[in-house]
Structure 1
Amino acid sequence: MINNDSDDDVPQLSAETFLALQEFYNEEEQRSAIQLEVSQIAKSDADIDMSEDWQLSQFWYDSATIQTLVKIALESVGPSGNIALLSCPSLYKKMKLNSTENHIIHLYEFDKRFAIHGEDFTFYDYKAPLSIPSNRKEYYDLVIADPPFLSDECLIKTAATIKLLAKNKIILCTGAVMGEMAHRLLSLEKTNFNPGHKNNLANDFHCYANFNISTWL
């Protein structure tokens, strides 16, 4: 007689698989807790200072750069489209102001001050590149990214996030020293547009893309 209750028939998780699952659930719990925190910040009426925080490696774009990138973004996706701003919060306000009700603009950012943008804000830490909402995978017609640090590690992890979020179009603003890696990781080419910043940076800064942006320059 066959004993259907035998423990031998019950699939067992390996220790490695169990640890991977546990890490996944821990990250999900942490992300949920952070989102709850930022939603509370978003409801606050406090006057939040949006000046650059250099400890977070923040350098805001100058007005001409913001205007150009907003124009490229909105016109390249057409009258309706989804746009993700990854670690480039100084673009959000102008982008939202110039968008239509048929555009979706989402900001992914480490700095929780930007939670004032409510549901358009998602906390993002490049060190956890895969920790994004599951319904946002291949959701965006365009992803614009500006990794906070000029390092291989930062770009590799940011690129992993970009690949998850993007349907096709990608714009990356970063230092010239990262150009070769940007091409290798994301097949991006240097454009003839060089972003500028309110406070001049010592590093040469370039714009890379996987589509022709010259039409809108």
Structure 2
Amino acid sequence: MKQSFSIIVADPPYLSQECLEKVSETVSFLKKPGESYLLLLTGAVQHDRAAQLLSLRPCGFRPQHSSKLGNEFRLFTNYDPGLRLGGWEQEES
């Protein structure tokens, strides 16, 4: 399955640096060369790591959970979703 996928959706089970590093390695192994689309659902605390490891930006879409989880979750992408998913979140100046 090496370099077989042009669309990858990842939802890592832990909010740790090590877990996101392993997910990054897996994504690199799975994605096709050239243009690939990556969607990552993880904690907002992973914002900087997602940008550093996978060149991802947060979308305006904010997932909601039925249980009262203490962590805010975000959806990150490596492509501009346009009007979908709330677009990319605007950078604060």
Fold shared by both chains (TM-score > 0.5): yes
**How many residues in Structure 1 have an aligned counterpart in Structure 2?**
82
2:2 aligned to which of 111, 131, 137: 137
The residue that corresponds to 1:192 in the other structure is 60
CA contact (8 A) 1:191 1:208 kept: yes
Equivalent residue number for residue 214 of structure 1 = 82
Letter of the aligned partner of 1:216 in structure 2?
Answer: R
Aligned-pair identity (%): 39
Cα-to-partner distance string for 1:61-98 (whole Å, 9 max, x where unaligned): xxxxxxxxxxxxxxxxxxxxxxxxxxxxxxxxxxxxxx
Shift of 1:198: 2.8
Aligned-partner Cα distance in 2 for 1:199–1:143 = 26
Give the C-alpha shift of residue 138 in structure 1.
1.5
Q: Which residue of 1 aligns with 2:21?
A: 156
Structure-2 residue corresponding to 1:179: 47
> Scaled by the length of structure 1, what TM-score is found?
0.36
Q: 1:12-60: per-residue Cα shift (whole Å, max 9, x none)?
A: xxxxxxxxxxxxxxxxxxxxxxxxxxxxxxxxxxxxxxxxxxxxxxxxx
Task: Tell me which protein shows more helix as a share of its residues.
Answer: 1
Distance verdict in 2 for CA 1:202–1:214, change over 3 Å: farther
Structure of greater relative contact order (alpha carbons < 8 Å, 6+ residues apart): 2
| Poorly superposed stretches of 4+, deviation over 6 Å | none
Letter of the 1:171 counterpart: L
Deviation at 1:206, TM superposition (A): 0.7
- Tell me the C-alpha RMSD between the 2 structures: 1.2
